[in-house]
């Protein structure tokens, strides 16, 4: 399971600003590249908890729920950026495991994103070549399924304001 990732809220502001500036700079000098790599290691390895990165904890819990609901023996979670495990790291661990097939799914459900349309497929292709294990990408999502999920969630919240309203119409 792949989520986007975010910077931890307690990362020092100066480090965060310098890291983001260098991350999105089109060309970096050798000195800037070294500093960027140092800052990226700092960011990736920053300890995460519910207070400084609720997204991290939420994705971890979602992966646990997917494992439970899907009856999957293993579910790894990973991030496109800003924290570990990275998708490359999680793919390596999954491919080294005893599972027969590795399925990758992202929480990014709508088309048009660089992560879901370019980066994730490229990393999956690398894993397929390196590990010679079936790795599938469970994407794109059916827009009708996503719409039903969203409508159900809206109706659940609306029913809290109007108890006569059914929780779901799907």
Q: Using DSSP bridges, classify how beta strands 102-104 and 78-79 pair: parallel, antiparallel or unpaired.
A: unpaired
Confidence at residue 162, expressed as pLDDT on a 0 to 100 scale = 81
Query: Rounded to 5 degrees, what are φ and ψ at 4?
Result: -70, -55
76/130 same-domain check: yes
3-state secondary structure of 41: helix
**What length does the chain have?**
170
Structural domain boundaries enclosing 81: 71-137
Token pair 């390596």 in the structure block, residue: 92
What confidence score (pLDDT) does residue 166 get?
Answer: 65
Number of structural domains found in the chain: 2
pTM of the prediction?
Answer: 0.89
pLDDT number for residue 7: 98
Q: What is the pLDDT at residue 52?
A: 98
User: Each residue of 145-164: pLDDT tens digit?
Assistant: 999 999 999 999 999 888 77
- 79 and 132 part of one domain: yes
Name the H helices within the chain: 13-23, 30-44, 54-70, 87-96, 114, 120-131, 143-161
| Alpha carbon distance 152, 167 (integer Å) | 7
Same domain? For 130 and 104 the reply is yes
Structure tokens at 79: 């991030």
Say what percent of the chain tops pLDDT 70. 96
Shared domain check, 110 and 159:
no
Phi and psi at 86, nearest 5°, equal: -75, 165
On whether residue 62 sits in a domain, the answer given is no
Q: Convert the pLDDT of each residue in 10-63 to its tens digit.
A: 999 999 999 999 999 999 999 999 999 999 999 999 999 999 999 999 999 999
| Residues 84, 114 share a domain | yes
pLDDT at 164: 76
User: What Rg, from alpha-carbon coordinates, does the chain have?
Assistant: 19
- Phi/psi at 73 (5° precision): -70, -30
Distance CA 64, CA 58 (A): 10
| Residue 146 domain-assigned (yes or no) | yes
Q: How confident is the model at residue 170 (pLDDT cuts 50, 70, 90)?
A: low
As a whole number of angstroms, the distance between CA 53 and CA 76 comes to: 18
């Amino acid at each position: 399971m792949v989520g986007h990732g975010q910077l931890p809220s307690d990362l020092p502001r100066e480090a965060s600003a310098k890291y983001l500036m260098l991350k999105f700079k089109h060309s970096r000098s050798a000195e800037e590249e070294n500093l960027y790599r140092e800052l990226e290691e700092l960011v990736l390895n920053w300890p995460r908890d519910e207070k400084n990165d609720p997204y991290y904890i939420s994705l971890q819990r979602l992966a646990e729920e997917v494992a439970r609901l899907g009856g999957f023996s293993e579910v790894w979670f990973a991030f496109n950026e800003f924290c570990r495990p990275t998708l490359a790291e999680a793919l390596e661990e999954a491919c080294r495991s005893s599972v027969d097939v590795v399925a990758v799914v992202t929480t990014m459900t709508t088309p048009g994103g660089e992560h879901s349309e370019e980066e994730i497929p490229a990393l999956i292709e690398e894993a397929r070549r390196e590990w010679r294990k079936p790795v599938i990408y469970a994407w794109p999502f059916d827009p009708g399924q996503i719409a039903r999920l969203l409508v159900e969630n809206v109706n659940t919240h609306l029913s809290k304001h109007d108890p006569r309203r059914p929780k779901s119409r799907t």
